């Protein structure tokens, strides 16, 4: 193999590996600032009205359990407001994301239910025997337990553990990936004295990384990936869709930017460099035409 062919093969390999490492850097970074970001997660909860929907779900649960316990449904109409559960959910989530030990505070909700049920019993002169009193206590405990379950957000412990693990991996891997990418850029630079050839392989790396970054997210959009997700309740499904949709959209946009930048580099490498003092062909032609006209006159 001639030296020129060997250098060409090596340059293509360096461009491929540079594209791959750029792809990994971008995916890790977009993931860190979206799916693995507590602020991103909580903003999406607001965007899909997660707190209001949680309150609606809890109210539905309370009414379903009120009738068998002997309490009128009207008593628990819109019993839990969004603000009742919102502040507690935000407090719990923030403490979890910060690594603090926390539990859901149920004192206020328990006191409220006990007060309202006791008032109903007294106002209606209802006499409780041990069996019915036990039924009332079970009803209150059932509501409190469901309130605790919904406020904690399902799998929050596992999600926080994944975020913490990802943060460690990110902080260790990104410096290494950046150094390797810089070395690959330097290697391509050293292989050629010509700026045109250097730009050629840099553009290959940028376009290749852009395709790697944006192809899969674009495919997931094209096949309507979100319609195939089966998750209930609906507000949990809406949250998952909001989280992943923005994440995929960001990667598609970044991929497009890399591809466009790669083509810009390609265009710049094809533009001939004009030497100092050299006039453009168009200017020379205009000057010749002007001189010709003067001589004829």
Q: Which residue has the higher pLDDT, 50 or 193?
A: 50
Q: What is the mean pLDDT of the chain?
A: 85
280 in any annotated domain: no
Q: Which of 126, 154, 182 is the last residue of a domain?
A: 154
What string of DSSP letters covers 66-110? HHHHT--GGGGTT-S-HHHHHHHHHHHHHHHHTT-------HHHH
CB 55, CB 84: distance < 8 Å: yes
Calculate what percentage of the chain has a pLDDT beyond 70. Answer: 90
Residue 270: per-residue pLDDT: 46
Domain of 187?
A: 3-32+157-270
Residues 225 and 149 in one domain: no
**Pair 250, 265 in one domain:** yes
Same domain, 140 and 243: no
Q: Is residue 282 part of a domain?
A: no
- The reply to whether 162 and 259 lie within a common domain is yes
Give the per-residue pLDDT at 278: 47
Q: Which two tokens stand for residue 125?
A: 């002169």
Statement to judge: residues 122 and 76 lie in one domain:
yes
Instruction: Kindly provide the b/e burial profile for residues 49-72, where b requires at least 16 CB atoms within 10 angstroms of the residue's own CB.
Output: ebbbbbbbbbbebbbebbeeeebe
Confidence check: pLDDT of 94 > 60: yes
Output the pLDDT for position 284.
54
Whether residue 277 is contained in a domain is answered as no
User: How far, in Å, CA of 125 to CA of 168, rounded?
Assistant: 62
* Domain final residue pick, 105, 133, 154: 154
Question: Is 285 domain-assigned?
Answer: no
Question: What pLDDT sits at residue 210?
Answer: 95
Nearest to 200, CA basis, from 285, 266, 127:
266
In terms of Cα–Cα distance, which of 53, 158, 144, 34 is closest to 96?
158
Summarize the confidence of residues 92-100 as an average pLDDT: 88
When comparing pLDDT for 229 and 169, which is higher?
169
CA angle 282, 200, 252 (to 5 degrees): 110
Domain shared by 91 and 237, yes or no: no
Give residue 99's pLDDT. Answer: 85
Asked whether residue 116 is domain-assigned, the answer is yes
* Structural domains of the chain, count: 2
Are 162 and 266 members of one domain? yes
Phi-psi group of 231: left, alpha or beta (phi > 0 → left; psi -120 to 50 → alpha; rest → beta):
beta
Residue 164 clears pLDDT 70, i.e. is over it: yes
Average pLDDT score over residue span 218-230: 83
Q: Which of 3, 20, 13 is nearest to 188 (CA)?
A: 13
Q: Is residue 78 part of a domain?
A: yes
Q: Are 237 and 195 within one domain?
A: yes
Task: Give the contacts of 281 (CB within 8 A, at least 6 positions apart).
Answer: none
Residue 173 lies in a domain: yes
Name the token pair of 288.
Answer: 């010749």
Give dist(CA 274, CA 23) in Å, integer.
35
Q: Do 154 and 88 form a contact (C-beta atoms < 8 A)?
A: no
Tell whether 148 and 231 lie within a shared domain. no
Q: Residue 287 above 70 pLDDT?
A: no
Q: Confirm whether 288 is domain-assigned.
A: no
- Of 32-46, 128-142, 150-164, 267-281, where does mean pLDDT reach its minimum? 267-281
Asked whether residue 168 falls in the same domain as residue 148, the answer is no
Over range 277-282, report the average pLDDT: 49
């Amino acid at each position: 193999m001639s030296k020129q062919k060997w250098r060409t093969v090596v340059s293509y390999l360096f461009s491929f590996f540079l594209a791959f490492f750029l792809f990994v850097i971008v995916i890790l970074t977009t993931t860190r600032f979206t799916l693995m970001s507590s602020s991103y997660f909580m903003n999406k909860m607001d965007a899909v009205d997660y707190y209001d929907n949680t309150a609606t779900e809890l109210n539905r649960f309370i009414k379903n359990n009120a009738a068998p316990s002997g309490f009128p449904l009207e008593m628990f109409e819109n019993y839990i407001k969004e603000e009742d559960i919102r502040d507690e959910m935000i407090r719990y989530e923030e403490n979890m994301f910060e690594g603090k030990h926390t539990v859901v505070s149920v004192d206020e909700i328990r006191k409220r239910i006990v007060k309202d049920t006791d008032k109903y019993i007294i106002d209606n002169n209802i006499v409780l025997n041990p069996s019915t009193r036990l039924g009332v206590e079970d009803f209150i405990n059932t509501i409190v337990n469901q309130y605790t379950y919904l406020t904690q957000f399902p799998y929050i412990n596992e999600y926080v553990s994944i975020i913490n693990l990802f943060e460690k991996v990110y902080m260790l891997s990104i410096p290494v990936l950046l150094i390797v990418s810089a070395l690959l850029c330097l290697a391509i630079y050293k292989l050629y004295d010509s700026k045109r050839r250097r730009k050629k392989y840099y553009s290959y790396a940028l376009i290749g990384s852009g395709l790697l970054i944006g192809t899969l997210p674009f495919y997931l959009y094209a096949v309507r990936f979100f319609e195939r997700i089966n998750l209930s309740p609906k507000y949990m499904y809406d949250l998952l869709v909001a989280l992943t949709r923005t994440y995929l959209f960001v990667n598609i946009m970044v991929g497009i930017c890399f591809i466009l930048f790669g083509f810009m580099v390609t265009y710049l490498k094809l533009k001939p460099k004009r030497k100092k003092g050299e006039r453009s062909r168009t200017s020379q032609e205009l000057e010749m035409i002007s001189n010709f006209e003067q001589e004829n006159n």
